[in-house]
Each structure stands twice: as C-alpha cells, then as structure tokens.
C-alpha cells in the first residue's frame, strides 16, 4: 500500500490537473491564466494541465468575486473535486471583491464560500505570479495539508455542542420513543 501511495503522490506532484472556475470576473485573470498555457510560459511542459471536468481535477483555480448567481455552482463544483484538493484564488476579486465590493449581487470573497489555500495577488495577476501560486498549490497538494483537510480534521476533533464531549445523537435511542421502546 505504501508503494501505491508513493506513486499517487509522485503523480500529483508531476502532473497536477487544474479546473478553472470563473465566479463572476471581468475575464482579466482568465486571459492571464490562458497566457500561462500558451507557448511563452508553457506550463504544460511541467505537467500542469487545464482539465474540463472538476471530477478529474486536483486544483481549483477561481477567478472573480462570488456572485449570487455563481455561489451554488462554486459550492457544487467544490464538492465534485475529489480529495485531496487545493483551491487557488486568482486575482484581487476572490480575495476582497475589489471594485465589486458593496454590490448587491456580490455574495462576498471566495473564502466565505469555500476554504482557500493559495491567494495570487494582482488585478490581473502576471503569468509568473500565477505559476508561482500554482507551484505553491502543488506543494500543499503533495504535503496533504490543504485548507479543506485542516477544516475536516478540526471538525472531527471538536467536542460536541452539548459540552459533555458527546456528539449529538451518539447515544440516542434507536426508535422514536424517548425511552427506546418500540
């Protein structure tokens, strides 16, 4: 089993697949992300590939502030990406909503909707900054310490809300009757 796990870690490090999600951006970040895939920067020679399906991706790259319309799609796509997963916020909009802050159609920054691992600053960010952010995301992916995994671990370690260290329903009767009678 250790050999198989080692093979998986090597594959994730050498060929991470990205899924790009536009959550309501002006397309400035999208153009710079596509420039990374072009012949000048050519991240595909490093094994980084843009994938069309979230079910095959390792890293989610999100551009734009989360709008009221795109929030359900962002949550659904995040749930579709298999674990371990890493989220990269591309540009200023997913981090702070930038010029769109205060708009009635904006739900807020990305970290209010899904956990974010890497922030790539800029409006729009330069391709070399995007590549550095993706490299940082690859490091997080290989180490297995993404924000999603830390959040899941923290929730598992938290005591129950009743203050007695029990999870709600752990010792609950199996039937609907309070005494457990049928």
Strand partners, 89: 62, 119
The residue to which tokens 């359900």 are assigned: 72
Question: Would you state the pLDDT for residue 84?
Answer: 83
Question: Would you state the pLDDT for residue 161?
Answer: 54
Question: Would you state the pLDDT for residue 178?
Answer: 45
CA distance linking residue 166 with residue 153, whole number of Å: 17
Locate all alpha helices (DSSP H) within 46-171, ordered by sequence: 71-80, 92-96, 127-143, 147-157
Question: Would you state the pLDDT for residue 160?
Answer: 57
Question: Would you state the pLDDT for residue 174?
Answer: 43
Q: What is the mean pLDDT of each run of 10 residues along the chain (182 residues)?
A: 68 76 84 86 81 86 89 90 87 84 84 88 88 87 73 66 49 44 48
Whether the bond into 44 is cis, omega within 30 of 0: no
CA distance linking residue 6 with residue 145, whole number of Å: 16
SS3 60: strand
List the domains of the chain with CATH numbers: 20-154 (3.40.50.12280)
């Amino acid at each position: 089993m250790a050999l198989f796990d080692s093979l998986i870690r090597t594959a994730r490090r050498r060929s991470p697949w990205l899924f790009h999600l536009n959550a309501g951006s002006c397309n400035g970040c999208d153009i710079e992300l596509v420039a990374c895939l072009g012949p000048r920067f050519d991240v595909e020679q490093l094994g980084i590939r843009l994938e069309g399906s979230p079910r095959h991706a390792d890293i989610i790259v999100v551009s734009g502030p989360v709008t009221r319309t795109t929030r359900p799609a962002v949550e659904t796509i995040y749930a579709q990406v298999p674990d371990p997963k890493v989220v990269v916020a591309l540009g200023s909009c997913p981090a702070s909503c930038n010029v769109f802050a205060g708009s009635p159609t904006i739900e807020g920054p990305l970290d209010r909707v899904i956990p974010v691992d890497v922030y790539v600053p800029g409006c729009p960010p330069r391709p070399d900054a995007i590549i550095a952010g993706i490299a940082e995301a690859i490091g997080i992916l290989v180490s297995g310490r993404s924000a999603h995994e830390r959040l899941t671990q923290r929730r598992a370690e938290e005591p129950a809300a009743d203050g007695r260290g029990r999870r709600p329903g752990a010792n609950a009767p199996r039937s609907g009757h309070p005494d457990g009678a049928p």
